[in-house]
Structure 1
């Protein structure tokens, strides 16, 4: 009986954490106007780079870096919460997202140093 209670508390805790994470991501996206600043074309390029196999232009790379890491992470996490992407491995996507961010940041930094 005690294990059932522990299990119930764990389920409630994890559900609350997921709801809080969703609200936190939505708040970051809303407060920073993350979705509209990049433009649909660049959002689509970034999405295919992270969630599928694709590339992103230097222009869109720059727009993403200007948005900041918080926007980038919140958008990726919110996409992972969508039931349409339930078959994707969140760990793999987060790793790919971080690699993509680091590549973009290095590209922008190298262009700034050479200017």
Structure 2
């Protein structure tokens, strides 16, 4: 029953923050590929992810990880990779660009 409540909370956050319409499908795919496989995400999509915001990013990741098709995956590792992807993007966006 707790998972249903968590799912409801994530859905509520996603709906209230209008997370789904704030980010393009290409960015979602690249961000999730970064989390699940490669650790790589382009500067363009890092910018979109940061604009989306940490609350939306976390809620979307948590909702995705609740999918029964992902049962058996190491959720702790995936959440850690999600946080690392967020932190990498934030650092990239916050860092000053090199002088030309």
Please state if 1:19 is matched with 2:4: yes
Equivalent in the alignment of 1:64? 49
Please state if 1:39 is matched with 2:24: yes
Long gaps (5+) in structure 1:
1-14
Equivalent in the alignment of 1:89? 74
Long gaps (5+) in structure 2:
none
1: CA distance, partners of 2:17 / 2:30: 20
TM-score (norm 1): 0.79
Which consecutive segments of 4 or more residues in structure 1 shift more than 3 A?
A: none
Superposed CA RMSD = 1.5
Task: Give the CA deviation at 1:54.
Answer: 5.1
Q: Deviations over 1:13-72 (max 9, x none)?
A: xx2x21111011001111112122111111100010011225221111111111111101
TM-score (norm 2): 0.89
What is the count of residue pairs matched by the alignment?
98
2: CA distance, partners of 1:24 / 1:83: 17
Cα 1:92–1:54, aligned 2, differ >3 Å: closer, same or farther? Answer: closer
SS in structure 1 of the partner of residue 73 of structure 2 = coil
Bigger proportion of residues as helix: 1
